[in-house]
Structure 1
Amino acid sequence: MRIEVNSLEELSKVAECIKKSDKNIVILSGTLGSGKTTLVKEFVKSLGLKDEVTSPTFAIQNVYDDTVFHYDLYNKGVDEFLALGMLEELERNGFHFIEWGEDLEDILKTYGFEYLKITITAEGAKRIFECQS
């Protein structure tokens, strides 16, 4: 599914797409500044949670209300993610957003995890969200 977004308010369309999916693991793919963390922020807001969403770049994982789990593999990479036992975190109930998780895809498949992949492309102020399960 392809969703064009021209404003923060329109991110609700992407949030609804995620909620309607039968997948609770979401790999977010896109360049720096494309809107990966902004999407998680709007998703958390769409659930009515009051948590402040920030990029987990240095922490590797942020948890919001024990419902939304937000990972960033940019600095630590897949090996560190696995060494820290984070793969087991994906079994927890809730939504799991993984930024820069493209290298994790084969491992997820090997262990039987299903996921939704959202590729974000920036076109000026507009963002294109491609959702693939």
Structure 2
Amino acid sequence: MKSEKFEVKSIEDLKKIIDCIKNSGKNIIILSGTLGSGKTTLVKEFVKSLGIKQDATSPTFAIQNIYDNKVFHYDLYNKGISEFLALGLLEEFEKEGYHFIEWGEDLIPVLENYGFDYLIIKIKIDGNKRFYECQNL
């Protein structure tokens, strides 16, 4: 397992995390962090880095947002893993593009069971600083 840690003080600092994601060789990214830690902000900046004009927003109530058929953004906070699986969204991971999953930690055993590779981005807040850990498993 390769792990890189980054201190993020500004939006510009997210470029380091975006580069970690793009260089990981993985297209499924689990975003782990508390409410308001910056999960959606990271996706927003990632979408911009690809030159996509759509504004990324949290899919908390929709469960999935798709940006230019290149970035798939899921949020399991309200719906949970059961509804995610019941809706057949696991099959979405076979689509080319990047798949960001907020609150997806409980999905990890399912991903492993089906042989999907994934990356974990852990976000921790300490005062006005954020620390991102990019774990390439």
Give TM-score scaled by structure 1 length.
0.98
Q: How does 1:110-121 map to 2 (within 5 A)?
A: 110-121=113-124
Instruction: Give the total of aligned pairs.
Output: 133
Taking only the aligned residue pairs, the percentage that are identical comes to: 68
CA drift of 1:3 comes to 0.9
CA RMSD, Structure 1 to Structure 2 (Å): 0.5
Distance in 1, Cα, partners of 2:113 & 2:74: 20
Distance in 1, Cα, partners of 2:115 & 2:37: 29
In the TM superposition, what whole-angstrom CA distance separates every residue of 1:30-70 from its partner, at most 9, and x where no partner exists? 00000000000000011111111100000000000000000
Match among 32, 50, 59 for residue 47 of structure 1: 50
Structure 1 unpaired stretches of 5+: none
SS of residue matched to 2:94: coil
Runs of at least 4 residues of structure 1 off by over 2 A? none
Match among 65, 71, 75 for residue 72 of structure 1: 75
SS of residue matched to 2:44: helix
CA drift of 1:90 comes to 0.6
Give TM-score scaled by structure 2 length.
0.96
Q: Which residue number corresponds to residue 86 of structure 2? A: 83
CA drift of 1:120 comes to 0.2
Distance in 1, Cα, partners of 2:42 & 2:68: 17
Q: Which residue number corresponds to residue 65 of structure 2? A: 62
Distance in 1, Cα, partners of 2:80 & 2:96: 23
Comparing 119-128 with 21-30, greater Cα deviation is found at: 119-128
CA drift of 1:123 comes to 1.3
Distance in 2, Cα, partners of 1:10 & 1:83: 37
Please tell me the residue identity of whatever aligns with 1:110: N
Distance in 2, Cα, partners of 1:130 & 1:10: 13
Q: How does 1:94-109 map to 2 (within 5 A)?
A: 94-109=97-112
